[in-house]
Amino acid sequence: MLAASGLQAEPVQQRPVSMVHLDPKTGQLVRSFALPSRPPASTLFSTNSTSAGIISGPDTILNDLVEKAAAAHNVDPLLIHSVIKVESNYNTFAVSPKGAEGLMQLIPATAKRFGAKNSFNAQENIEAGVKYLKHLQDLYKDDRLALAAYNSGEGAVAKYKAIPPYPETQSYVEKVGRKYGDAKRAAEGKKAKPATIAAVIDPDSAKTEERHPKLQYYTDAQGRLHLRTQ
């Protein structure tokens, strides 16, 4: 449990340690990154809230950060979650072999460009990552090209004027697109549930029109008014 207060938490100061080891399968040297220790939960997130309260764990916090950034920059939160899932699987301290950092795997230059001073601070990382994603959406007017540029860089998309023919990028666009589609279908299913539950509770709810049929009226040859049901 993390208590939220009006004070801003101190940013994470630690940086990953670079290590090189021999891959027994390929015989090649591989560089990896790791943090010497995980800082306290209170340093993972910062807040400008002036009201005290209790936040029920990282999942709730991350979801709130995503929702806030999504609303601020007009990006679908389901797309943001799909990107985070594929990029880091919600690992705040993820570091790629190419040096991309944090939840949305920002290269240091990109993080700086979009205002993140510390990519291992979840709030800063998500805010900068969503700003970058929105920039790419506005630039290409196509989510698939935006995702391709997010993975391979704007230069690669500009060069090919399409999704670059890189297996990694093509796989990335497919993975994020599939997760985004699944998330939207799941969200639509949740919206449809109340009607389904109502039908289970009251099986006759779908037969309202049959129980309360509409009335018709007509006048016969003698001018008398008659009523009847349809």
Q: Which of the residues are catalytic?
A: 87
Contact (Cβ atoms closer than 8 angstroms) between residue 103 and residue 90: yes
Residue 122 burial class via C-beta count within 10 angstroms: exposed 0-12, middle 13-18, buried 19 and up: buried
Residue 103 burial class via C-beta count within 10 angstroms: exposed 0-12, middle 13-18, buried 19 and up: buried
**Neighbour tally for 7: CB within 10 Å:** 13
Which tokens hold the place of 105? Answer: 């795997």
Q: What is the largest CA-CA distance in the chain?
A: 103
* Helix (H), strand (E) counts: the chain: 8, 6
